[in-house]
């Protein structure tokens, strides 16, 4: 809802993503803040921001599959892993630069997603959610059992820093700008997708797939497309992750990670791209705080032992997921929208 006094007289302005001058100003300020961030924050915080960018791309993809198209995906980390390994293979085996490797990683992951999307055409609800877990097991099995000269097996894979002409992305600050640009492109793309014909088909299938089918939507194709898109995002995120860590192994992409991604999406709000971003930033920030405060707490109270960090991370994640589903299943974005509407309507209730 727009504030009162704002009228659009042309279709283009009405359908634009950024619609008012105030929104343009806010976006420009936000962009400027993001550009300045690595010069103001400590190197550790820049690394954290990079991790947030990678995760944000993956969670936005999950938002498309699960939040918009309603297909529960418990294997997002596996798709991310496919992208990471894809980028490594392109770089190490074929010697191609990162700007080929990253999209190619996305395409590999999208192919894997397509395979699971096809099963979604027949399998529904509970059964589908549970079969996506199979992606996780198959991914680990395939990587570990292919000849180790192909994918590195248990030893994992290391790769060189990304290069673009004379620029080498080997510092966190350089990577920050690369990741920022990638996130901007991917998020802009996601906004486009969910506003398009396909995005509206996703929402229709999520709300009721029988009804959507009767309206003439190709339900099976839409579900497959949702998986392909979500997996593509995960693959791109995974490929960027590979260039950040420069080492890839299967234990970086566990079922546990997939569940973290879902938790981020729930906290931010299902069915909202901005929600996915907010959830990612918030949960990652809290994760980092627990990880960095953990050793101090252990030092203060040695009786707790060093396992407390991992244990309390689990308790925290469990409480976040159950708490949000019980108390605010629509996520923080929904709260924010309620607040915004109330603020704009004040002093009237409706």
Partner 1 sequence: MMIEFVNYALNGALLGLLYALVAMGFVVIYRASKVFNMAVGEMLVLGAFLVWWAVAASAMHPAVGIAAALAISVLVGLAIERLLFRRLIGESVFSMIMVTIGLLILMRGLVLLIWGPQERPFPAIISLTPIIIGDMIVPRPLAAGGLIAVVCAAGLHWFFNRSRTGLAMSAVAEDHQIALAMGISVRRSIAFAWALGGVLSVITSMVYLSGKSLTFLSSEIGFAALPVALLAGLESIAGLLLAGLIVGIVQGLTAAYIDPLIGGNAASVVPYLFMLVVLVVRPTGMFGWKRIERV
Q: Which of 20, 252, 254, 312 binds partner 1 (CB under 8 A)?
A: 312
> Which of 100, 214, 285, 341 is in the footprint of partner 1 by CB under 8 A?
214
**Minimum Å distance from CB 52 to partner 1?**
21
Question: Which residues, including other chains, have CB under 8 Å from residue 162's CB and lie 6 or more apart?
Answer: 97, 98, 168, 169, 175, 178, 243
Closest separation between CB of residue 205 and partner 1, Å?
13
116 neighbors 135 (Cβ within 8 angstroms) = yes
Q: How far is the CB of 275 from partner 1 (least distance, A)?
A: 15
Q: Rule CB under 8 A: is residue 188 a binding residue for partner 1?
A: no
- DSSP, collapsed to helix, strand or coil, labels residue 38 as helix
User: In this complex, which beta carbon is closest to partner 1, that of residue 168 or of residue 319?
Assistant: 319
Among 124, 163, 335, 344, binds partner 1 (CB under 8 A): 124
Q: Is 318 in the site for partner 1 (CB under 8 A)?
A: yes
Instruction: Compute the distance between CA of residue 225 and CA of residue 229 in angstroms, rounded to an integer.
Output: 6
CA gap 292, 300 in Å, rounded? 14
Candidates 5, 125, 347, 349; binder of partner 1 (CB under 8 A) is 125
| Closest to partner 1 by CB, 24 or 256 | 256
φ/ψ of residue 192, rounded to 5? -65, -45
Q: Which of 195, 329, 341, 344 binds partner 1 (CB under 8 A)?
A: 329
User: H/E element holding 10?
Assistant: none
Which residue do the tokens 């995002």 mark?
233
- Closer residue to partner 1 (CB): 104 or 204: 204
Q: How far apart are CA 33 and CA 3, in angstroms?
A: 26
Q: How far apart are CA 37 and CA 217, in angstroms?
A: 44
Residue 34 CA, chain-centre distance (Å), reads 19
Q: Taking CB under 8 A as the rule, does residue 137 contact partner 1? A: yes
Structure tokens belonging to residue 137: 């097991």
Which of 41, 96, 274, 313 touches partner 1 by CB under 8 A? 313
> Contact region for partner 1 (CB under 8 A) — 1-9, 135-143, 164-172, 234-242?
135-143
Stretch that binds partner 1, among 136-144, 218-226, 230-238, 240-248 (CB under 8 A): 136-144
Residue 196, sorted as left (phi over 0), alpha (psi -120 to 50) or beta, turns out to be: beta
Shortest gap between Cβ of 308 and partner 1 (angstroms)?
Answer: 7
For the bound state, the minimum distance from the C-beta of residue 224 to partner 1, rounded and expressed in Å, comes to: 13
Using CB under 8 A as the binding rule, whether residue 148 contacts partner 1 is answered as no
| Local structure of 248: helix, strand or coil | strand
What count of other Cβ atoms lies within 10 Å of the Cβ of residue 349?
6
Q: Which of 298, 269, 299, 296 has its CA nearest to residue 282? A: 269
Alpha-carbon distance values, 290 to 49, 216, 294, 349 (Å)? 16, 49, 6, 41
Strands (E), the chain: 157-158, 162-164, 167-169, 247-248
Question: CB under 8 A: which stretch of 106-114, 118-126, 160-168, 182-190 binds partner 1?
Answer: 118-126
SS3 90: helix
Q: Is there a contact between 89 and 151 (Cβ–Cβ < 8 Å)? A: yes
Q: How many residues contact partner 1, by CB under 8 A?
A: 51
Residues 259-278 as x/- pattern, contact with partner 1 by CB under 8 A: x--xx--x---x--------
Q: Is 211 in the site for partner 1 (CB under 8 A)?
A: yes
What would the x/- binding string for partner 1 be over residues 229 to 258, using CB under 8 A? --------------------------xx--
- Closer residue to partner 1, CB minimum distance, 41 or 123: 123
Which residues are at the interface with partner 1 (CB under 8 A)? 66, 70, 72, 74, 119, 122-127, 129-131, 133-134, 137-138, 141, 144-145, 208, 210-211, 214, 255-256, 259, 262-263, 266, 270, 305, 307-308, 310-322, 325-326, 329
């Amino acid at each position: 809802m727009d504030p009162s006094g704002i009228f659009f007289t042309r279709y283009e302005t009405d359908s634009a993503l950024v619609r008012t001058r105030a929104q343009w100003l806010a976006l420009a300020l936000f962009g400027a803040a993001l550009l300045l961030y690595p010069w103001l924050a400590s190197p550790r915080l820049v690394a954290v921001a990079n991790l947030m960018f990678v995760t944000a791309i993956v969670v936005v993809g999950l938002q498309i599959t699960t939040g918009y198209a309603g297909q529960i995906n418990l294997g997002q980390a596996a798709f991310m892993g496919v992208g990471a390994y894809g980028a490594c293979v392109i770089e190490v085996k074929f010697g191609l630069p990162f700007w080929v490797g990253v999209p190619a990683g996305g395409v590999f992951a999208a192919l894997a997603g397509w395979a699971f999307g096809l099963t979604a055409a027949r399998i529904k609800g509970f059964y589908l959610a549970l079969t996506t877990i199979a992606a996780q097991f198959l991914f680990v099995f395939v990587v570990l059992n292919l000849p180790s000269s192909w994918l590195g097996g248990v030893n994992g894979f290391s790769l060189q820093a990304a290069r673009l002409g004379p620029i080498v992305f080997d510092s966190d600050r350089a990577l920050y700008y690369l990741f920022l640009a990638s996130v901007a492109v991917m998020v802009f793309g996601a906004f486009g997708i969910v506003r398009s014909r396909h995005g509206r088909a996703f929402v229709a299938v999520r709300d009721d797939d029988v009804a959507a089918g009767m309206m003439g939507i190709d339900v099976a194709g839409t579900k497959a497309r949702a998986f392909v898109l979500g997996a593509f995002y995960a693959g791109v995120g995974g490929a960027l992750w590979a260039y950040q860590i420069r080492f890839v192994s299967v234990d970086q992409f566990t079922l546990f990670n997939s569940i973290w991604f879902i938790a981020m999406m729930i906290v931010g709000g299902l069915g909202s791209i901005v929600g996915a971003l907010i959830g990612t930033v918030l949960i990652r920030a809290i994760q980092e705080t627990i990880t960095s405060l953990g050793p101090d707490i252990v030092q203060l109270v040695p009786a707790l032992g060093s396992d407390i960090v991992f244990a309390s991370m689990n308790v925290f994640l469990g409480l976040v997921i159950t708490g949000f589903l019980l108390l605010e299943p629509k996520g923080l974005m929904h709260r924010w929208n309620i607040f915004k509407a109330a603020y704009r309507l004040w002093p009237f209730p409706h």
